Structure 1
């Protein structure tokens, strides 16, 4: 049986996260690949719709992300009951938000599609896809919250197993609905949306089964009414800057997608294909960054401050090496992969013209993600929020408009803007981590606590 310390080693945390995220990514790749057999227009719709869904997810991910870090800290501090209460509140609040978002997306699918300047001929496809997949946003909220909670208890294998099952089901249903095989009706993009909904429902059921036994004391239906104002305040203290950070990123990406939609469906489809391939390249580094966040939060909660500081560097440099290696693989196989997704020569040529820029982008993303997650793990989330608001809008979105539209650089100009954004934030989070502001405060509290304990013991000795 694994000890708690062994559960929180970087490798044991990272490899199941990698498999889970890779399989979740494959869910998107399968969507993109199979939808591309319908049409490139359908791919453009799915790409834009997924950006809308990500924007909506911020509302419940604010709670889930803050809760995840707090759970790892509490477990590190040997406060299992507090961690359990935090988890219960995160699930119930996320589910409530998810229900509201489901109703909004189902009823307002067409106005949302029009809001992002989608071409008129794509609106019927967008309305169908957004309304069906969006109606299951409550399932997305639950899977996100449950996966985050289970992962931060040190059990990263559970969400991985769920991702495997979810992908298998999704692939089978996609194949059936798109091609009219296995006794399914041929429904095209509508079938892809239904497939997504069904696979998420089954994943939610499996994660709920794991959730009820995730802590020392089993969670029952009656526990869902538990609410602790102090702990919920602690969740929001960590979570709300993370929520603004996430919203800043997603909304800036939506702005960029709107710029791309203005450029045309070809640019929008190319960016969707490129984003899929880049995500495969970056996935291992991203899993390392998430594992580092869990590990540092646990070390920070247990009072092991020096090891927490070292873990930030170790995890980020390992991630940089892995991302660099994957980028080289992408460089040599890029054209073959892109040609596999689409036969449109214009899309392939546009993607190839941006290849060098995509490779420069990846290490900057890892630098920013590694140290940014390290800061979040110790509760230093406001700094990330501030620099994100400035850089994402000033550089990622603002410079994308200037270079992409005003100067006419198109998709290449947008990539230049994203590179500037990632490297600026990466440099700033390194500087912040080296300053050790929150870590020094934790060391001071630890020293103060030890001093009080010594005084108490000396007093007891004198009394004796």
Structure 2
């Protein structure tokens, strides 16, 4: 597949921008009610994002396999991977829904014993969790479409769900400006509705444009083989994602000791810096598709050149975002809150948070490249070791034991991010990922070679 990085990435860029912008506006809309409501949303999202990220991770695992199957043009492998991806996403969605419905109150009790927080937050979490099957399967379809270079359709889906979701959110906030309970309740229901709308659209598109998506000759034994292959990559990858999200839950728990203003300020700063991370995330996602094809075809020099191009583009755009953030930090925080205490806490950590975003942008691209080659276990070990042996102990000691300000805690997080960046750059340069040879290990069936499907 000879496609330019830009042709693959621009729809992903807009899709990522819309998702990040919607998250930004969600906090902004709720902050119009109160900082307290925004803090409830932050706590809820720290839990629901665990499920979202695990579901997306499962979908990414299948996309890696599909991309490498496309590189070798194994149509049997493509079809069975589609079926396995949908199946495992459906099962995961059912399990996640049950967990969110049964344990929402227990989760919120870790952060606050206030009745208002427990009631409003747990209800929001139950509504969101009830539709998790839809979210999970939708992610699977999105990554299947992306791995086939049908990124324009996933962009249309993003425009649909984020556009409708934003319109509904604005109507909800304007009509219930004084009631945080009603706002949170209606926002959760509107989110569930737009996700269902997107699922219907994605399902129709997949059956229309993907011939292998509807192949009746795929049998259960082929699906089981693909499930085992996904488990080889997915188990380690899922552990990394779960560890990462639990890391943020624990971090939020540590920060919550310093007060509700700190929780709200952290959420606002992360929403702002998330916007500046959009180019790097989009380039990493698009480049992973191209790298998967190149590595599957054993064209390692092309893979190296592809990553270099991605890093140059990502770094340049990240520097632009860094400059804008430094120039307008007070104004950006003022969009969310007029409370002096909340803004003051946000300004403490804003500059360091921008630096973390810059390091993360480079690291995300290199990590995506290693995962495209199947070097997942190394990435998992590095992330787990760094977060739980460096970042969390350091932040805990700084905040709980030495009672230092949040800026010190964020400097520790920056050191953690920089350490990981240094290690993964060395890993890519050493070339160990070339010896993994994922396609050969997956034992492609012979006689299944055909031309790749045409692109939209």
TM-score computed with the length of structure 1 as normaliser: 0.89
**Does residue 388 of the first structure (1) align with residue 383 of the second (2)?**
yes
Give the corresponding residue for 2:371.
Answer: 376
Q: In the alignment, which residue of structure 2 is the partner of 1:458?
A: none
Q: Distance in 2 between matches of 1:71 and 1:441?
A: 17
User: Which aligned pairs between 1:31-430 and structure 2 lie closer than 5 A?
Assistant: 31-117=26-112, 119-180=114-175, 187-219=182-214, 227-430=222-425
Q: How far is the alpha carbon of 1:409 from its aligned partner? A: 2.2
User: Given that residues 64 and 148 in structure 1 are in contact (C-alpha distance below 8 angstroms), is that contact kept between their aligned partners in structure 2?
Assistant: yes
Q: 1:89 touches 1:226 (CA, 8 Å); kept in 2? A: no
The secondary structure found in structure 1 opposite 2:97 is: helix
Contact kept in structure 2, 1:179 and 1:188, CA below 8 Å: no
Where does residue 23 of structure 2 map in the other structure? 28
Q: Could you tell me how far 1:218 is from its partner in structure 2? A: 4.8
Shift of 1:58: 4.8
Q: 1:220 to 1:50 in 2, by over 3 A?
A: farther
Tell me the SS of whatever aligns to 1:154.
coil
Cα contact 1:212–1:220 (8 A) shared by 2: no
Q: CA deviation at 1:443?
A: 12
Q: Which residue of structure 1 lines up, in the alignment, with residue 454 of structure 2?
A: none
Deviates more, 1:107-116 or 1:10-19: 107-116
Q: Which whole-Å CA distance do the structure 1 matches of 2:194 and 2:436 have between them?
A: 45
Give the drift of 1:114.
1.0
Q: After alignment, is 253-262 or 410-419 more displaced?
A: 410-419
Aligned to 2:453: none
* Alignment coverage as a number of residue pairs: 437
Q: Relative contact order, CA 8 A, sep 6+: which one is greater?
A: 2
- Alpha-carbon contact 2:82-2:213 (below 8 Å) kept: no
Inter-partner Cα distance in structure 1 for 2:173 and 2:439: 61
Label 1:57 to 1:445 Cα distance change in 2 as closer, same or farther (>3 A). Answer: closer
Moved more, 208-217 or 419-428: 208-217
Deviations for 1:322-360, whole angstroms, at most 9, x for unmatched residues?
111111111112211211111111111211122221222
In the TM superposition, residue 441 of structure 1 has moved relative to its aligned partner by 5.6
CA distance in 2, matches of 1:163, 1:220: 27
Q: Could you tell me whether the CA contact under 8 Å between 1:245 and 1:385 is conserved in 2?
A: yes
Shift in alpha-carbon separation, 1:176–1:339, aligned structure 2, 3 A? same
Deviation at 1:442, TM superposition (A): 4.5
How far apart are the structure 1 equivalents of 2:213 and 2:112? 49
Q: Is the Cα contact below 8 Å between 1:35 and 1:43 reproduced in 2?
A: yes
Contact 2:78-2:212 at 8 Å conserved across structures: no
For structure 1, the residue ranges without an aligned partner over 5 or more in a row are 447-464
Deviations 1:283-320 (A, max 9, x none): 11111111121111111112212111222222123211
Q: 1:375-414, CA deviations, whole angstroms, 9 ceiling, x for partnerless residues?
A: 0000000100111111011122221111122222232133
Measure the CA separation in 2 of the matches of 1:438 and 1:33: 42
- Does 1:435 find its partner at 2:433? no
Larger radius of gyration: 1
Contact 2:100 2:126 in 1 (8 A): yes
Greater alpha carbon shift after TM alignment, 138-147 vs 217-226: 217-226
Structure 1 residue 103: Cα displacement: 2.4
8 Å contact kept, 1:364–1:423: yes
Counterpart in the other structure of 1:5 = 2
Provide the rounded CA distance (Å) in 2 between the counterparts of 1:362 and 1:433: 21
C-alpha distance in 1 between matches for 2:222 and 2:257: 47
Q: What residue is the counterpart of 1:449 in the other structure?
A: none
Deviation at 1:220, TM superposition (A): 6.5
Give the Cα separation in 1 of the matches to 2:226 and 2:151: 24
Give, in angstroms, the shift of residue 169 of structure 1: 0.9
2:446 alignment counterpart? none
Greater Cα shift, 234-243 or 65-74: 234-243
CA gap of 1:260–1:85, structure 2 versus 1, over 3 A, is same
Shift of 1:231: 2.1
Q: 1:221 to 1:398 in 2, by over 3 A?
A: farther
Q: How much does 1:227 deviate?
A: 4.8
| TM superposition score normalised by structure 2 | 0.90
Task: Give the SS at the match of 1:263.
Answer: coil
CA distance in 1, matches of 2:119, 2:224: 45
